[in-house]
Structure formats: structure tokens, C-alpha cells
Amino acid sequence: MKTELVVTEYVGRLSDDDLRYLYVRFQQRLGGDLEEACNFMAKDQEVEKFLSSSNGSMDWFDRVDLCGETVDKEWNKRNL
């Protein structure tokens, strides 16, 4: 799916430090972590378009969960 490809490509381009930042935010999910992660990812125009094109809150949270899963996969792939 094209939307998944946008997220996969974005996460693959992240530096180790940026990936670590997102990984911690998605794993901890403490107050404000999702907001910080989404604001960080939204700096990329394609990811912003992906997140903002959701069809309601459930779809938006599904897309955010997809981002978190992709970050987790990349984290494990890099063995950080």
C-alpha cells in the first residue's frame, strides 16, 4: 500500500538519534509523547500529508499506530 510505503521510506531515512527519539516516544506513550512524535514526523511533508488525510479520529490513531509499528521494526532491524 502506498501509504505504508511513505512511512517506511521516512523511517528508513531517519538518523539513529531521530529513530531513537521516536522509538522512545512510541514505546513509553507517556503524557504528550504521541503529540511530540506526531509533531516531529509532521516536519516531513509526505508524512504530514499521510496523517492529515485520515478520515476521522479512529483512522488517525490507526495511522499513528502504523507509524509506531514501523519505527519499532526499523529499530529492531538496526539493532539499536
Q: Are 71 and 11 contacting, i.e. CB atoms less than 8 angstroms apart?
A: yes
Q: Are 7 and 67 contacting, i.e. CB atoms less than 8 angstroms apart?
A: yes
pLDDT of 29-71, one tens digit each? 888 999 999 999 999 999 999 999 999 999 999 999 999 999 9
CA distance linking residue 52 with residue 29, whole number of Å:
21
CA distance linking residue 4 with residue 61, whole number of Å:
14
Write out the residue range of the structural domain in which residue 56 sits. Answer: 2-78
pTM: 0.87
Crossing angle of the two packed helices 16-28 and 57-78, in degrees rounded to 10 = 130
Domains held by the chain: number: 1
pLDDT of 10-19, one tens digit each? 999 999 999 9
